[in-house]
Amino acid sequence: MQASTASERETLEAFLDFHRDVLVHKVRGVSDQDAARRLLPSRTTLAGLVKHLTVVERNWFGRLSDPDVSPAGEEDASWVLTDADTVESLLAAYERACALSRKAAAGYAIDDVVAHPDLPQVSLRWIYIHMIEETARHVGHADIVRELTDGATGALG
């Protein structure tokens, strides 16, 4: 598929998958210690970005398979790391969440809607656009944190 000439849905899926892949590339190969190291005043770390985006995937695409899915709770909680959070465990959880997101979305048309606790309802199109925005925003953060960690730059570096 060529995203530049694909259907709307294929284009949205391609952009989201691109940003998902960049996040994985930004974090893979970094030590657990470096991934958890805070280089900014906020809780933003490479490991925290992966953990947060895993929760975001579940919160948004999870509504497609379970309309009663409840938000993860306190926004800051998704950034909190535990001793069990390793780069590999976090990336594996993220990749599982993305696979479940793809599977859940496959059962819906782009205009199908689901309930949302803060909005009356959202379409699959809205979820895709929101997830592209959310993922790309945090991938930009990962790009900066990775550069501060070891100097690596670029979409796949």
Q: Which two tokens stand for residue 16?
A: 């989201």
SS3 category, 115: strand
Evaluate whether residue 157 is within a structural domain.
Answer: no
Domain boundaries, position 114: 3-150
Give residue-wise pLDDT tens across range 72-85: 555 578 899 999 99
Distances (CA, A) of 143 to 3, 26, 38, 46, 87: 23, 7, 14, 9, 16
Evaluate whether residue 48 is within a structural domain.
Answer: yes
Q: How far apart are the C-alpha atoms of 21 and 145, rounded to whole Å? A: 17
Evaluate whether residue 156 is within a structural domain.
Answer: no
Q: E-strand spans in the chain?
A: 113-115, 121-123
Query: What is residue 69's predicted lDDT score, i.e. its pLDDT?
Result: 66
- pTM score, two decimals? 0.92
On the question of pLDDT at 135 being above 80, the answer is yes
How many domains does one find in the chain? Answer: 1
CATH number at residue 53: 1.20.120.450
Evaluate whether residue 71 is within a structural domain.
Answer: yes
Query: What is residue 36's predicted lDDT score, i.e. its pLDDT?
Result: 97
Buried b (16+ CB within 10 A) or exposed e, 20-31: bebbbbbbeebe
On the question of pLDDT at 19 being above 80, the answer is yes
Task: Identify whether the C-beta of residue 80 lies closer than 8 Å to the C-beta of residue 74.
Answer: no
